[in-house]
Amino acid sequence: MSYQEFAYYYDSLMDPAFYDEYVHFLNEHIHFQVGLELGCGTGEMTLRLIEEGKQITATDLSNDMLEVLFEKAAFKQYHFPIY
């Protein structure tokens, strides 16, 4: 399976509770407003942090994963600069 296909299945393979627990962990142990997420995948963590008011720059080597992130962001009416 190519990354292009995998990008659209990735979120269905992940447990949403993981992201909830990880955001809770970050907020409990690290106080930040600006962050960089390397290897953001489909951006699930990126979007959750943005929803908490944080300024996040996200990147991934897979353009297909980033495409999914942009689709999710557009659905939520978030706009990201693309570099």
| Per-residue pLDDT tens digits for 21-72 | 999 999 999 999 999 999 999 999 999 999 999 999 999 999 999 999 999 9
| pLDDT of 14 strictly over 80 | yes
User: Which pLDDT value is given to residue 41?
Assistant: 93
What is the rounded CA–CA span in Å between residue 68 and residue 63? 9
Alpha helices in 32-75 (DSSP H): 44-51, 63-75
User: Which pLDDT value is given to residue 5?
Assistant: 78
The reported pTM is 0.85
- Strand ranges for the chain from DSSP E: 34-38, 55-59
User: Which pLDDT value is given to residue 3?
Assistant: 62
Pull the structure tokens for residue 55: 């300024």
Confidence tier at 6 by pLDDT (50, 70, 90): confident
* Adjacent-strand bridge partners of 38: 59
C-alpha angle 25/47/17, rounded to 5°? 45
